[in-house]
Amino acid sequence: MLVAFSVAPSGSGREDGSVSDAVAAAVKVVRESGLPNRTDAMFTTVEGDWDSCLDVVKRATEAVAPYGSRVSLVLKADIRPGYDGELDAKLERLEAALDD
């Protein structure tokens, strides 16, 4: 499965409103997990089984908690049993379709 998520604290306390330090703490958890992953400007996507993906999301959310009085989590999952490597394969299929 693929799980795309965005996690950030509410009220970072920074004058510019940036939450980059908190997001970095979450992304560090993801990268240390060993799961295939990709981070872009809006979401981090991880690939694995239910338990592994949700464990990483939970730990990443917990890593953000110290940065604010509350945490916002947005999560989207693509559950497709029997498929691995979809983090890259979905993009490859898209690019192939665009080339047609």
Domain range for 63 is: 2-99
Domain of residue 74, CATH code: 3.30.70.930
pLDDT at 64 exceeding the cut of 80: yes
User: How many domains does the chain divide into?
Assistant: 1
Whole-angstrom distance, CA of residue 11 vs CA of residue 28:
21
Judged against a pLDDT cut of 70, whether residue 14 lies above it is answered with no
Contacting residues for 90 by C-beta, under 8 A, at least 6 apart: 2
- pTM, two decimals, is 0.90
Place of tokens 């965005």: 6
Taking only the tens place, the pLDDT of each residue in 28-55 is 999 999 999 999 999 999 999 999 999 9
Per-residue pLDDT of 84-99, as tens digits, reads 999 999 999 999 999 9
Helices (H) and strands (E) in the chain, counts: 3, 4
The pLDDT value recorded for residue 48 is: 97
Q: In what order do the strands lie in the sheet with 37-39?
A: 37-39, 44-47, 2-10, 70-78
* Per-chain mean pLDDT for the chain: 93
Return the SS3 of 2: strand
